[in-house]
Structure 1
Amino acid sequence: MCPRCRGEALLWARVPYGWTNREGGRVEGRSGVVLCPACDARAPGAAALITWFHVHGRADDEDEEFVRLLVRWATGVSVPPLDEHAPEAENERWQRGDL
């Protein structure tokens, strides 16, 4: 399921991302992202991969065309920057009974 529109997602993948912490050190991680035909149709590299799924139906990691399209899409995926204040704000909403 797509977390943005709640529609059906075609693919879930973990992509690398990172940020710089307060001390200036690099923090590396991975984040899960989805490929959604509704939300991602105009995203770089997504249209060709969405079309591939509509034609072939299922992913096959041995299919060279699929792997090429997947890599092209994944390198263009943008993970939103970490909001270090989000956990505090969510906790405050929970404490107030808003969640």
Structure 2
Amino acid sequence: MSKNITITYELSPPADTPAPSLDKSRTLDFAVPEKTELKAYYSGVREAIEKARNAVGEELTVWRDAVGSRELTREPKVVKKDDDEDDGEEDDEEE
């Protein structure tokens, strides 16, 4: 049985993204060499993971460049208050 590292992604870029040649959905497979010696096997696993990481990184970088700043206006950022600050303010109000 052959072993693979499989990475699947599905992107939802803004509608006006100028990227007609880019795939929004993709599955990538990276073969893990079959070796009987553990050291050689794990070395092959590390190499396959490195290839997978580099390939996905390159593809997503192309998408990031295509999307540009359009993603900034898509969803507003939510600012989360620190719970400790809230507790201090309540104590001041009670006094």
- TM-score where L is the length of structure 2: 0.29
Name whichever structure is richer in helix by fraction. Answer: 2
